[in-house]
Amino acid sequence: MENEQVEVVATEVAAETAPQQEQPKRNFRDARPDRKGGRRNNRERENREDDGLIKKTVAINRVTKVVKGGRTMRFSALCVVGDGKGSVGIGMAKAAEVPQAIEKANLRAKKAMVQIALVDTTIPHETIGKFGKGHVLMMPAQPGTGVIAGGPVRNVLEAVGIKDIRTKSYGSNNPVNCVKATFNGLVGLRSREHIAALRGKSVEEI
């Protein structure tokens, strides 16, 4: 009996003194089962839906409204959305945070997109866009000229997809006035086919 007790004690001591094997660390991502269904990230879904659109934030302003309880501060965003193939829209929105204001402005601009008449990489004819005290003169240019325009005007032209144009801004340099004046000038463009259809003639006769 004593020999058996000695052997048991020796076995327990050897087990305690033996080096323990390090168990591999479990990664939370590996342990988590792959989910085929479930919710998807809204931001990822929006990126997939708007992959073909060009979004540009032109201006962000902080606005203050005085109410009975004090002053409420919000942010106003002006954005331009286009597909680079002749369609463009502008939108303005306000929100308590800048990202929310930009998102709302992009959504409004996307809903207000219109088709612009283009000839290759430039515009069909000279035009002057007006809004308030802002005037923007836009002239066709030869291929390779590039976009000769200021910041707000350039954002609109690049969203449309125009690559060769010369512009000059007069009067107000407010970004809102410049963007809306440029948009109004582009909407007023007419192609040869459209004018021929209005006059009831062929393109060759004009």
> Which fold would CATH assign to domain 116-195?
Ribosomal Protein S5; domain 2 (3.30.230)
| Nearest by Cα to 137 from 174, 178, 176 | 178
Amino acid symbol at 65:
K
Which strand ranges, in their side-by-side order, compose the sheet holding 134-140? 127-131, 134-140, 165-171, 147-148
Topology of domain 50-114 in CATH is Double Stranded RNA Binding Domain (3.30.160)
Q: Which residue has the higher pLDDT, 202 or 19?
A: 202
- Mean of the pLDDT values across residues 42-71? 77
Length of the chain equals 206
- Give the span between the Cα atoms of 132 and 201, in whole angstroms: 36
What does the alpha-carbon distance between residue 51 and residue 165 come to, in Å, rounded to a whole number? Answer: 26
Mean pLDDT on 56-81: 93
**Do residues 186 and 87 make contact, with C-beta atoms less than 8 angstroms apart?**
no
Token pair for residue 51?
């992959």
pTM (global) more than 0.85: no
Torsion angle, CA of 154/159/162/167, rounded to 10 degrees? -20
- pLDDT score for 157: 94
On the question of pLDDT at 46 being above 70, the answer is no
**Domain layout of the chain by residue ranges:** 50-114, 116-195
Whether the Cβ atoms of residue 82 and residue 183 lie closer than 8 Å to each other: no
Residue pLDDT, tens place only, 120-169: 889 999 999 999 999 999 999 999 999 999 889 999 999 999 999 999 99
Is pLDDT of 171 > 80?
A: yes
Of the pLDDT bands very low, low, confident and very high (cuts 50, 70, 90), residue 23 is low
Percent of the chain scored above 90 by pLDDT?
A: 56
pLDDT of 32 over the 90 cut: no
Q: Do domains 50-114 and 116-195 have the same CATH topology?
A: no
> Chain-wide mean pLDDT for the chain?
81
